Every structure is written in structure tokens, then in C-alpha cells.
Amino acid sequence: MATQTKPVLHGYFRSSCSWRVRIAFALKGIEYDQVPVNLIKDGGQQLTEEYTTLNPMQQVPAVEIDGTTLSQSLAVIQYIDETRPGPRLLPADPKKRAQVRMISDVIASGIQPLQNLYVIQKIGTEKVQWAQHFIDRGFKALEPILKETAGKYCVGDEISMADICLVPQVYNAVRFKVDVEQYPTIKRLNQTLVEIQAFKVSHPSCQPDTPSDLQT
């Protein structure tokens, strides 16, 4: 792989879907370049014609990799997993793989799309309540699922795509002032995961496009 061009991640420091991909790259030990796409500035740089060719959904992330451009974070993560060495991001056992995908999709289809910037902007009033409602609804479902599947991490004792999805969603929950104390399994898993180096280096507080007042 040494002669290959590095992947390029077009993302935004605070986007939970961009963060998922950054965690996957970090867990796999893959070097990549970042091109910031500011979702706020200039009315949203994801709306430019240039960016729309990379991702017609006008969302981050988009990843240039192996001569192709991929969007949708879970598709990117599974592509990385299937083409790169390093720790598996999905377990070998089919039932555990299904659990990992189920948990990932509860977040990626059941929660995140309903509280992302674009949708929140479409909701006239009660933006925060709307986001809280959908995060709470998702976490109420995740908590009993994770109680069944979790070991040290979301599914058993190996880090997986489910963990990659969980941590950025908990970060969003905190931003929207959801009381995470209500969800002891989610809280415990998140506390364990945020101490891991791959989750730390990919954190929104320390990306190239993190505004200086949000850096920690």
C-alpha cells in the first residue's frame, strides 16, 4: 500500500458522521488527508457545485479512496474494513456482525438523520426539543439492546462499527442536553470508549478545522 495515494476525507469537525470515519481510520492506523467542508460558513460549503459532485446528497463525509469517491459513513467504514489490514471493525461471527450492524443502524438510520443540521433547520420552532425527542427515543431502544449485546464494548469485548457510531451520537446527545444518566449501559460504554486513543485523536475538539475557541 506504500505507493498508494492517501485517502482524502472531506468532512467537518463537528459532524458525527465525519467523526465515525475518522475513528475508523484511526483504529486501522490509516493515514489520510482532511479537506474541511464548513457546514455553516458561506451558507454551507457542502452546497457548492464542486462538493455536490463528490457527494450529491450535499452532506459530509465524502471520502476519496482507491480511485473512487464514497459517501455514507457506514459504507465507507465497511469498505475500509474489507480492504485494509488491522483490527476488524466487524466481528467474524455472522450473528455478532448482524448485532453490530443493527446497533449501527439504530443510530445511523434511527437517530442521527432526525437530529442533523439540515433537518433541525427545516423544523421551524422547538429545534432542541425535536432533537432531544429523537435522541431519547433512540437511546431508550439502544439501552436494552446494548444490555444484551455488550461486553466491554457494544458487542462483546472487541471494538466494532457499533462503538464507532455510539460515541459521536453520545457527543450529540450531550450537545442537545439529553440526560445520558438515564442510560447506564450507553454511559458506561461511552466512558470506556472515549479513553481510547483512536477516539481521542479523532474528536471534534482537535481537528484541523476546529475553531480555536472550541479546541481543548
What is the contact surface with a second copy in residues (CB under 8 A)? 55-59, 66, 68, 70-72, 74-76, 78-79, 82-83, 94-95, 97-99, 101-102, 104-106, 108-110, 112-114, 119, 122, 130, 133, 137-138, 140-145
Long-range contacts of 36-39 (CB under 8 A, 24+ apart): 36/11, 36/12, 36/207, 36/208, 36/209, 37/10, 37/11, 37/12, 38/12, 38/209, 39/12, 39/14, 39/15, 39/117
* Smallest distance, a second copy to C-beta of residue 174, A: 22
Give CA torsion, residues 160, 191, 205, 209, to 10 deg.
10
Find the shortest distance in angstroms from Cβ 111 to a second copy: 9
Closest CB to a second copy among 56 and 208?
56
Least distance between a second copy and beta carbon 67 (Å)? 9
| C-beta closer to a second copy: residue 5 or 215 | 5
Of 100 and 198, CB closest to a second copy: 100
Contact 53, 96 (CB under 8 A): no
Quote the least distance from Cβ 195 to a second copy, whole Å: 27
Interatomic CA distance for residues 186 and 144, integer angstroms: 10
Q: How far is the CB of 79 from a second copy (least distance, A)?
A: 4
For a second copy, give the closer residue by CB, 105 or 209. 105
- Nearest to a second copy of 123, 196 (CB atom): 123
**Backbone phi, then psi, for 150, in 5-degree steps?**
-75, 145
Distance of alpha carbon 63 from alpha carbon 35, whole angstroms = 10
